Every structure is written in structure tokens, then in C-alpha cells.
Amino acid sequence: MNEKTDLTTRKENIVARRPDMPRVAPVVDIYENDNEILLQADMPGVTKEQVLINVDNGKLEISGMRKLQTKGTSTWQEFGDVEYRRVFSVPQSIDVGKVNAELKEGVLKLHLPKTEAAKPRTIQISTL
């Protein structure tokens, strides 16, 4: 299994960025426990087909496009098309092959499991 290929296969599905489309950083919460790092990003209006997640060389990139379908002439508009994009450094202890994501109600949840070697463990002491 080629991890780099597996994680970048959705690149062709993302909507092409328009130069006039504003780019914003989504608001993100990051939690860590013994087993994983959980990243939650607010990306309202984005569908799963418009999300790209890429992990490569210690960098995690998330991006997504919100394209609104409108009917009629706009008389006032404060909520339009936008590209969400954020890049993070991630530790090498992430098990890239087991990374998974879910998108529900505009919140992207990205589970970054740790490798077994990175998880804390208790050392048993033996008696001689």
C-alpha cells in the first residue's frame, strides 16, 4: 500500500479554485489522548466531495470549497463562495495508513491515530 497515493487520490475531485474566491482559515480545535490526535474544523457549507485532506512529510493540509447555488439577483450578500484552507505540522508518530475523517453538519473531524511505538506503555518489572 502506497500511503502517499492513498491519501491524495481525492485531489481530482476538488472544485477548481477561482482567483476571485476568498480564502479563509477554518476555526480548528485539536485534542490529544494516548491513542490519537483529533482535529475538528468548522467548514460550513462544504460537502465531502469538496474536501481535500493530505498528509505528507510531517504536514497535514485540509482544504474545502463552499460554492453556493443561488437563484435570482442578489440584493444583499454576506455569505458566498469561499475556500477553506489550513496547514499543520504533525508528528512522525502518526499512523498515516489509519487516518480517517468524517464530515457532519459543517464540522470536519479528522482522527490521526498514533503508531503503537508512540503510545505510552507501562513497563513491568521482573524479579530475579
- Do residues 79 and 22 lie in contact, with contact meaning Cβ atoms separated by under 8 Å? no
Average pLDDT over residues 58-81: 84
Q: What is the pLDDT of residue 125?
A: 84
Q: What is the pLDDT of residue 6?
A: 42
Q: Return the pLDDT at 17.
A: 57
Does residue 1 surpass a pLDDT of 90?
Answer: no
Region class of 58: left (phi > 0), else alpha (psi between -120 and 50), else beta: left
Q: What is the spatial distance between Cα 94 and Cα 71, in angstroms, rounded to a whole number? A: 45
Q: Between 112 and 80, whose confidence is greater?
A: 112
Region for 49 from its dihedrals, namely left if φ exceeds 0, alpha if ψ lies in -120 to 50, beta otherwise: alpha
Residue ranges and CATH numbers for the domains of the chain are 3-15+22-70+80-114 (2.60.40.790)
**pLDDT band at 9, cuts 50/70/90?**
very low
2 pLDDT exceeds 90?
no
Over 50: is that where the pLDDT of 112 sits? yes
d(CA 10, CA 103): 15
* φ/ψ of residue 48, rounded to 5: -65, -25
Read off the C-alpha cell for 103. 464530515
Classified as helix, coil or strand, 55 is strand
The predicted structure's pLDDT at residue 73: 81
pLDDT band at 56 (very low <50, low <70, confident <90, very high): confident
